Amino acid sequence: MASCAALGSLAEHSPSRRSSRSRRSRSLQRSDQENQSVAVGGPPLNKFGFKTRSLVCASPSAAGVPGDADGQAEDAGAAPVDLLALVEPLIASLDGATSVLKMKDVAKGMKFDFKAKITALSAINTQLKTTLSEQIEKARTLPNVLAPAQEDINRRLLSLADDEAALRSSIERLKTELGAARQRGEERGKRAHDLKGELSAAHAAQAELKEQHAAQSKRAVEAEEELAQREVQLSEARTEVSKLRTHAQLQEDAAATASARAVEIESRCTQQAEEASRLAEQERQASQKREGGLSLELQTASQRAQTLEVELVALKASHEQLSATHEAVGRDLASSGSTLTAKVAELERTQADLEVTRAQLAEKDSDLRDSIKSVAQMQADNNAQLAHERERVQRLEQELQASREGQQQLRSELQGCKLDIERTQGELEVARQRGIEVQASLARTESEREQHAATIAEQSATLQLRQSEYDRLIEQLAETRESLAGTRASLDTRVEQVDKVTEAKRVLELEFRSYKEHHGSTNQQQLEAITDLKLMVDRLSQQVESKQVELGAKEGNMAEQQMTIQMMHQKLMEAENARRALHNTVQELKGNIRVFCRVRPGAQEAAPALDIAADGTKLCLTHSKDSYNFGFDKVFDPSSAQASVFEEVDGLVQSALDGYKVCIFAYGQTGSGKTFTMQGTPDPESWGLIPRSLSKILSASRKMAADGWVWSLEASFLEVYNETLRDLLNNNDGHNSSLGIKHEEAWGTVVAGLSRELVTSMEQINMLMARAAKQRAVGSTDMNSQSSRSHS
C-alpha cells in the first residue's frame, strides 16, 4: 500500500515524462485508486498487509447470544462461548487481504530509473504473498480446530450452570430443613422444660401427700387420745351413777325422781361415750384405710416420679444429641453455602478470565499460535477446574445425602420423643387426677369427721346448757309462783283493810251528817269530836291512797311477773323444741336403723362357739374349723343385763315422746330369748324393753304434767298369728272380727277396731301385759316348752 502510494507520487512529480508514460500513469493511478478504495472500504492494514482492529471485549450480544438493552445477560455464567464468531471477522479480513495477492506489479517493464526499486518491491511483495497465503490457510483451518473446543466449553458451562442451580435448590432445601429442625429442637426444649415443671409439681404433690399422711396419723392419734379421755369420763360417769344409785337407796322419798335422773344421766353418758367410741373407731378404721391407700399411692407416685426423672434424663440426653447434630448440620450447611459461594465466585472469576482470554484472542491476531496455545491451556485449566468442581459437587451431594439421612434419623427420634412425651403426659395427668381425687377424698373425710365432732360437741354443750337453763327456769318459775301467791295473799289482806276503812269512813260520814242535822248548834266538845273525826278521816284517806298506790304497784309487778312467766314459758318451749331437735339429730347420727345382737347364755358344759370383740361391735362364730365374722351396731354378751339393753334404746323412747315414730322389735329363732328381752319378768330388775319403755313414758308424763302439760296414755296389745290379727286385750279370747288395717291421715297406718286401755301407772300396765300373755298363741318346741308362736 505504501509502495503504490509512493509510485503515484513519483508519477505526479515527473512532468518531463508525462506524455510518454501517460498510459502507464493512468493505469497506475487506477490501480492506486483501487487500492485506495480497498483501503477506504475496509479496516486499515498493518505493515504485513493484515487489517488492524482495536481490542473488543466479547459480550453475550457480541458472541452471538441475544441479551437485554443494557448488554447484561440474565445469567452471565451460563452464556455459551462462540469462538467461531470471534474468528469469522478475522477470516473476513483475510478475504479482504486477497486483493493484495491479486495486485500486479504496475512498474514491470518500465524503462525508467525506478526499475531497481520495483525489483526490490516485487521481492518483498512475493515474500508477503507467501506469508499471507500461509496465514490465510492457517486461518481457514482455525474454525475446524475451534469448533470442538467451543462445543466442549459450552457443554461444560451448561453443566456448571445446572450444577449451580441444583446446588442452590439444595441449599434452599437444606436451609428450610434446618429451620424446621431448629423449630423442632426449640419445641423439644420447651417440652423438656414443661416436663421439668410437671416433675416439680409431682414432687410437690408427693410432699403434700406425705404431709397429709402425717396429718392423718396425727389425727388418728388425737382420736385415740380423745377416745381414752371419753373412756375415763365414762368410768367417772359410771362411778357417779353408782354413787347416785347408793344415794337413791338411802333416800326413799326421792327414789323415783333420783333414779330416773341417774338413769337418764347414765344413759346420756353411756350414749355419748359409745357414740364417741364408735366415731373414734370409725375414724381410726377410716384413717387406717386412708393411710394404707395413701401409702400405696405415695409409693406408686414415688416410683412414677423416679421413672419420670429417668425419662427426663434420657430426653435431656436425646435433646443434647439432637442439638449437637443440629449444630453440625448447621455448620455443614454453612460450610456448603460458603463453598458454593466460593465456587460461584470462582466461576465468575473463571468467566472473567475467559472474557479476558477472548479479548486477548481478539487483540492478538498477529500471534494466533500463541492464542491457540493460550486457549488450549485455558481449556486444560477449565477441564481441571471442572473436574475439581465435579468432585466438589459429588462430595457436597454425599454430604447432603448424609445430612438428609441424619435429618431422617432426627425425625424418627423426634417422633419417638413425642410419643414418649405424650405417654409421660398421660401418666402425669393420671397421677395428677389420682392426687386430686385423694386430696378431695381426704378433705371430704376430714370435713365430715370435723363436722361430726363439732356437731356432737355442740349438741352436747347445747343440751347441757339447755338442761341447766331449763332447771334454772323451773326454779325461777317456782319462786315466782310462791312470790305471786304471797303477793296475792298480801293484796287480798290490803284490799280487806281498805274495804274496812272505806266502810268506817262512810259510817262516820253518815253519823256526822246525822249529827249535823239533829244538832244545829255546836259546842266545844262537838268541835273537838269533829276535829278528831276529820283527822281520822284524813289519816284513813292517806292510808287508802297509799294502799291504792301500793295496790297499783303490786298490780304492775304482777303484770310484769305474768309477762316474765309467759317469757319463761316461751323460752321453755323453745328449749324443749331445741332439745327435741338435738336429741333427734343425735339419734340420726347413731343411725336411723340399728341392729343389735344379744347372745343368750348357754349351758355351762357347752364349748364356747362365739367370740365377741372388745369394742362390742363384732361377733365371730366358730363351727368346726370354719369361722364366720358378723358386724353389728352393738353386741350384748351373755352377761348383759336388761338395763344395759334398755340403755341402747332409751333415746328412741325419748324420740317417741317427742312425737317421732319409733319401732323396736326382736327377731330370732325359737328359744333365743325374744320374749324375755321384750317383756322380761315381773321383777323390776328383770323388766324387758316394753315395761321399761312404758315406765319411762309414765315418768316423763308426770314431769311434764308438773309443767302444765296434759297427757292421756292408752295401751293396746296386738298379735299376728298365721296372718291373722288378734286383739290380746279383748276378753273374747283375742278374737275380734272387726280388726282391719287402715290408713289414717293423722296416725298413718293403724289397726282399726283394736282395744285401747287408759293407763296411769305401771301396776295397770303389768296387769294388762299379764292378761295379754294369757291369750297369746304358744306351743311346745324342742327348744322351748312355752314358745311364742306369733308376733306381738
Residues annotated in the binding site for ATP, as ranges? 668-675
Residues in the chain: 792
Closest CA to 751 of 712, 714, 718, 715: 718
Q: How far apart are the first and last CA of the chain?
A: 165
Cell of 79: 452464556
96-108 in b/e burial notation, b at 16+ Cβ within 10 A? Answer: bbebbeebeebbe
Q: Which residues carry a binding-site annotation?
A: 668-675
The amino acid at residue 532 is D
Alpha helices by DSSP H, listed for 664-757, are: 674-678, 689-706
Report the C-alpha gap between 205 and 213 in whole angstroms.
12
Q: Which helix (H) or strand (E) holds 752?
A: strand 748-752
Which 8-state DSSP code applies to residue 684? G
Which 8-state DSSP code applies to residue 621? E
The β-bridge partners of 51 are: 45
Residue linked to cell 416420679:
305
Mention every residue, 6+ apart, whose C-beta is less than 8 A from residue 30.
none
Task: Transcribe 45-75 into DSSP letters.
Answer: B-TTSPBP-------TTTTT----TTS--S-
Report the C-alpha gap between 599 and 639 in whole angstroms.
9
The amino acid at residue 322 is L
Cell of 404: 438428609
Report the C-alpha gap between 4 and 28 in whole angstroms.
8
Cell of 696: 319411762
**Residue 435: exposure state from Cβ atoms within 10 A (0-12, 13-18, ≥19):** buried
Positive or negative torsion for Cα 382, 387, 389, 393: positive
* Structural contact between residues 68 and 50, judged by C-beta atoms closer than 8 angstroms: no
